């Protein structure tokens, strides 16, 4: 999977690259519109992360010219403004998803997973972890063919942790993933604990889950 990161802040670009490379993606960085267009025209990429505020123009211009050439690359827009118009604009111009700065890398990971699933015609329908399997198309979890009844939020949390396995996921990251870009300050963190406690209770009935780790003061991690 090849990803082109179009971002003018070099440090941020490197952070993103480090994370994505660690997840097995092949990454290249472009600093501005010109470089990005050159790169996308000369090499094949599966996914492009496109920052909208670039030194030599708007990311929208890049998106427009890419879509004109009919390239099949999937585009995730990264916007600082987080403006509804921007999102609608971007999606209308042919972007596949958007992320608002500042975003969690794990959130980016989850979005990439969803896009790749879509690109491959939803052939990846199942995630397996220690005998549990998550059916992605209908939000169901089963152990040994025995269905486990999870709420939507519990399923989302479980899937997010599985997708980012072996990583500590903070409560804040989970909160943002579940409730989206809310403007309220850290009031939901405690509710994440409630949902995780319920989720663990339900999973624990079927099999011991010592791999579902609580990281003190930070959050949770699923180890493989």
Phi, then psi, of 129 in degrees rounded to 5 = -150, 115
16 in contact with other proteins (CB under 8 A) = yes
> Do 163 and 128 form a contact (C-beta atoms < 8 A)?
no
| Interface pattern 24-63 for other proteins (x via CB under 8 A) | -----------------------------x----------
CA distances from 138 to 54, 125, 202 (A): 39, 9, 18
Neighbours of 180 (CB within 10 A): 8
> Do 167 and 221 form a contact (C-beta atoms < 8 A)?
yes
179 in contact with other proteins (CB under 8 A) = yes
Tell which one of 18, 38, 56, 204 touches other proteins (CB under 8 A). Answer: 18
Joined tokens for residue 3: 């990803």
Collapsing DSSP states into helix, strand and coil, what is residue 208? coil
Tell which one of 76, 112, 195, 212 touches other proteins (CB under 8 A). Answer: 195
> Do 224 and 163 form a contact (C-beta atoms < 8 A)?
no
Query: How many residues touch other proteins (CB under 8 A)?
Result: 41
| Closer Cβ to other proteins, 54 or 148, answer by number | 54
Collapsing DSSP states into helix, strand and coil, what is residue 65? helix
Calpha distance 205→184 (Å, rounded)? 35
- Closest separation in Å from C-beta 109 to other proteins: 11
Residue span binding other proteins (CB under 8 A) among the ranges 37-45, 61-69, 74-82, 115-123 = 74-82
68 in contact with other proteins (CB under 8 A) = no
Q: Name the residue with tokens 């990846």.
A: 124
Site for other proteins in 75-134 (CB under 8 A): 80-84, 101-106
187 in contact with other proteins (CB under 8 A) = yes
Name the site residues for other proteins (rule: CB under 8 A): 9, 11-12, 15-16, 18-19, 53, 80-84, 101-106, 153, 167-168, 170, 172-173, 179, 181-188, 191, 194-195, 215-218
């Amino acid at each position: 999977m090849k990803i082109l990161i179009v971002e003018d802040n070099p440090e941020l670009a490197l952070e993103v690259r480090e994370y994505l490379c660690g997840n097995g993606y092949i990454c290249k960085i472009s600093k501005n519109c010109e470089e990005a267009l050159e790169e996308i025209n000369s090499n094949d990429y599966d996914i492009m992360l496109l920052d909208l505020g670039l030194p030599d123009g708007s990311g929208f211009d890049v998106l427009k010219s890419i879509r004109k050439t009919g390239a099949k690359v999937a585009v995730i827009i990264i916007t600082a403004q987080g403006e509804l118009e921007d999102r609608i604009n971007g999606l209308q111009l042919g972007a596949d998803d958007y992320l608002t700065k500042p975003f969690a890398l794990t959130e980016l990971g989850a979005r990439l997973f969803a896009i790749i699933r879509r690109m491959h015609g939803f052939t990846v329908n199942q995630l397996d972890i220690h005998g549990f399997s998550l059916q992605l198309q209908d939000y169901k979890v089963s152990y040994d063919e025995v269905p486990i009844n999870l709420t939507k939020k519990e399923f989302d949390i479980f899937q997010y942790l599985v997708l980012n396995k072996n990583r500590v996921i903070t409560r804040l990251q989970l909160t943002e993933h579940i409730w989206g870009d809310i403007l309220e300050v850290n009031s939901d963190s405690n509710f994440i604990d409630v949902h995780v406690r319920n989720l663990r209770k339900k999973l624990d009935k079927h099999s011991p889950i010592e791999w579902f780790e609580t990281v003190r003061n930070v959050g949770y991690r699923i180890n493989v």
